Each structure stands twice: as C-alpha cells, then as structure tokens.
Structure 1
Amino acid sequence: MSKKFFHYSTNKEVEQYLSELTLKCGFRHKTLLINAIFNGEVLTVQSGDLTLHNNQSALFAPNAQQLLDLDTQLRVLLPDTYPVDFDISQYQTIEDKVAAAEQLTVRNKQFLPTYLHILQELLLVFDFEIAQPQIQQLSEDDEFVKAHQEKVKALAQSNSAKSKRRISVSNKFRFEKTMTQFRTKPLNKAQEEALSVVNIAKLQLKDIALSTPVKTTLLQDFDRAKQRLTATQTSPSQLDKLLFLLSKAKFQRLTITEQNKKIIMTLTKELAELNQHIKACHQAQNEAGLKTKQKVIEIVELEQLLRQSVVRTSFAIDAFI
C-alpha cells in the first residue's frame, strides 16, 4: 500500500513552534505531533517538575531476589525449630495479612516470603493508586492553552517566506475524515439569491449619485457580505488547514496532588533505606573475615528491618487510602 503524504507550504516561525510543541508534548518527532493533530488526539503537555515514581514494584524486584537468596543461606544455618501452619493466601486484605503475619518469627520459613508478598502488594497499590499521575484536562482559561491560541493566531498572520514540506500520514482513514471539514460546499438556493442581489447592488451603485466616501463604504460592505456567502467555496491552503486543526487541539496535563507527593516522598525514602540495608547485608556475606555467626545475625536483623518497613509502609498507605 502506497504511503500518503500531507504537503504544505510553511515558514520558519511555524516550523519552530511545531518543534517547540513537539518537545512540550513529549513526542520524539514533529511528524508524530502532526499526525496526533490529524487524528484528533488529546495532546499531553509535559510538566518539567513531574518526577514519576510509579515503577517501584519493578525496581524492587532485584532486591527481592537478593532477600530470597540471603534467606536461603539463613535457612541452612537457622532451623525452624517451632514451625507454624501458616499460609498467607488464606487472607484477603493487606491489613489482614499484616495482622496475621505477626505470629511469625524470623525462625519460621514462611517469614521472609510472607513479608515480601505483602510488600509487593503494597508496592502495586503504591504504583497504581498513589504514584500514578492523574490526567487534568486543560480548559480554555489555562495559561498554556491561552498562550497556544495566541501563538497560532499570530502564525496565521505571518507573511514570512515559505518553503515546502511534507508529512507522512500514519492513519489514512482518520486523516481523510478530518479533512472532510475543509471540502467546498455548494451554495443553497437562498445563498445563491443573496449573492445575486449583492452583485446587482454593486453594479447599480456605480450609477447612483453618492459621494466617494459613501460609495467606498457601501462597496466594502458588499464585499464583506460576498465573502461571507462564498466562504465555503474557497478551500483553505494546506498550511491554513494545519493551523486551524492546531487551534482546535485539546490539551491535558499529568499531575500529582500535594498529598500524593508527600506519601511518595515518605515511601520512596523508606524503600531507599531498606535497599541500602539489603546491599550492605549482601556485601557482608562476601566478607571472608566475617564469622558465620555474625553473617547469620546480619541476615536476621535485615529480615526484622523488612518486617518493620512493611508495617510502616502498610500503615502509611492505609492512612492515605
């Protein structure tokens, strides 16, 4: 299937603004931006101060594996002398799981898998319900939208030297549907009659004894009326089409509330500290001069820190939700 292209004559100012908008809306290339406009997509304005943290579950996965490896070493040296019949899957809510896990000690083989399970559930809640940015639709009163409209209006008035460009169309169906609004439309009977009256009036005006200023004013009025009647008969230029679509573009912004930012800061700090302890413990296991007993103590203390971290994280998320 042959490619379809949108050919248009443009100028430096238009191309510069399209490049700026490409960056502001997070597109890799100007072609992607223009195709999004053709497709009627809502453009997402990037926020420079928005740092995303909604991937903590994935980021913690390597650390979780290190904990499992350390726990495997621990089980060899610290037997489960008081085993308990415990299955975390019997509990439904995170709150119930945290409460039930209190019966476990580090000696129990279910201890680490249980608290890792709870932490991973907490991180999923964090990623999707707390750290996930919310979409805010931008109204016409938004400063960005107002500035955009003013810019497009100014570009439409520009008389700078033009050069030819072409854009590869990604969705022919959506493109054709969008472009139908620019097709010329025939005049209806009433419009034809009105246009005829205007043309006759202009001819008759020449023979009427009026002052030049009055005639000039009347002729201008007739010309404006004729332009309004024949507006649908003149197809706009390709650049005018693009600028018109650009002026009608809808925008949105990804935001995170101040309340969410506070809990994000708290929990990412909690995770960072836990990760440091995991790293330190892992390094300690490779120290040749460290006795086996001390290595066991290091792992036990780390798993106890994990429990404390899970309880604090659970409390913080529960208070938020």
Structure 2
Amino acid sequence: MHGEYKVPGGKLVVIDLEIVSDHLKDVQLSGDFFLEPDEALERITGALEGMPADASVTSYAAAVEGSLAGASMIGFDPRAVGFAVTRALGRSTSWHDHAFALVDSGPLHPAEQMALDEVIATQVARGERPPALRFWEWASNAVIIGSFQSLSNEVDLDAAARHDVTVVRRMSGGGAMFVEPGNTITYSLYVPASLVEGMSFAESYAFLDAWVLRALKGLGIDASYVPINDIATPHGKIGGAAQKRLAGGAVLHHVTMSYDMDATKMLDILRIGREKLSDKGTASAAKRVDPLKSQTGMPRDEVVRAMVGHFADSYGLTRVGVDEATRAEMEALARSKYGTEEWTARVP
C-alpha cells in the first residue's frame, strides 16, 4: 500500500506498507525531505510498525514524535507522516485521486451566489457531483457577512442602501466581504472530506490554498499563507479564506482576494472596517486597494485565467455549466433562505 503527502510549502513524504491482522507491517518512509541523524529514519518506521490500521493521524504523529529523540525533521513533520500513512491505507485521498470540474455559473446576484455554494457542496457530499472549482462572477454589488457575525455591528445598512449594495449572510464563518463586479476574485472549492482527512481546520486552510499560492507566485506575486485564513504579500493582506464542513462529508472552501477595491466606499459601509484593516497592511486612507491589479499589471480576467490554468495543469479540470435542476435548486434556496431577512439578520 502506497501513500504520498506533499507538505504545503515543504517536501514530499512517501509511505509504503502492508497490513497484517489490521496492523501496519513493513513500513517504509521515503521522500525528498531532510532528516538528521540518518538513523532517525529507522526509529520513525519502527515506531509505526505494528500500529493499528484504524489509528488516527494524531496517533501516528505522536508515535513519530516519540521516536525522534532530538532528531531534526526539515521540510516535514510528524503529522505529515501521519497524513501519508492514512493515504496509504486508503482512508484519505489526494488531489490526483479526483477528477475536478470547473463550474461556470455566469454572473449571479448575492443571494444566488450564497445558495449555489450550498447546493454544489451538498451535491458533492451526496456523491451526485465530482469535486469542483468555481470562480464567482457578480451581477450586482454585495456585502457578505460571515455566518456568526452581527449584522448591525458589521454593516451600516443606510450606507449599503445608499451605495446600492445588497447585504447577505453566507453559510461559512469568518469576516465581512465587500464586492462590486470586477473588484475582487473569489473562488470556491467543493471537495470530499477525505481530501482533508485528519487535518485540523488550520492545516486544511493551508493545504487547500497551496495551489493558489503557486499560481500567484507564477504571476510574480510573493504570496504566502498567514494562519489561520489569510493570504498575504510583503505589501500586506490580499485575501482571506472561509470554510464550512458539511455533515454529509464534503468541505466548502472559498477565498476572496482584492483585485481593485474602492476602500473609501467599503469603509463607509462596513462599521469596523478601519480597525480590521489596521493590522492587515492596508491604509484606511487609501482610495483604492488593488494588490492583484498593481502587482501583476494584468486585467482581472487574465489573472483568473492564469489561476484556472494553473489548477488545470496541476490536477485537471473539465468545464461544466450549471444544469437546470441545480439552477432551480439554487433559485429556490435563494428565495427561501439567503434572500430572507430571517437568515440575514439571524444574528441581529
């Protein structure tokens, strides 16, 4: 049995093993990592030998940790070994185990965007749709607040109305987003829970965002992951992620990055925007926040195409539209949930 795990920003960890009487046997660890001293390799494999095949990633990592005795792991860590073990056992999956679809939904209004995220994630959880990637296009202005944020604390509703901005609440946690068509780049990943099996939320954020960091670096942006859910450059924050794990066995992971944002308008609408921006590397006095535009010099559509191209080159993508049944479900959910005052103001 063979499993591989690539540490985000680090090295490849490979595990080969057999299962005898529901326990690990003949464990071999390899990869392009660094490990000192050499004999630590045998100590690590020895610690895994004989462990139950149904143990957790944390248990495998603890066994590795206990075997180190001062050894140095460079480019990987005990949990990376645990992830590789669970992949070898077939209990978790890798990117290459899945065939991804690129969902082209066209421009949508705010409540429709929220509803489509839930519908597609639910379809993936039920096995009705393969894992998918979707880049959002907007038909109108929006402020999207996190699932647990207070509407009145976050948004000046009079200012939102004055700027023709619709306020909606998404199903994931995290902070507020201000959107006008063309000013942000937002994508959603809909993946089976097996892809992040055994990972903490923090680990899964880094893992699911690793591909976009590579894509941004390919565009000349020195992007990095900042725990727990930010994407930043030396010039400051450029984006943030949010995530929802569905009980049915799927993960919705979405990221919004600023392309060319009107910060003055945003700060007029979002009540606590100035304080939030103060530690994100963004000057509250700036008229525009344009890290992707200014750092690439590329039109927004070209940046999106480059991101899509990188994902396709890495993992493969098949472009699909939104079928009639999915669109009908989206529209019904937008009317019954995401477009209602009851949901939007559920935390007043």
TM range (shorter): under 0.3
TM-score normalized by the length of structure 1: 0.20
- Name the structure where helix makes up a greater proportion of residues: 1
- Name the structure where strand makes up a greater proportion of residues: 2
TM-score normalized by the length of structure 2: 0.19
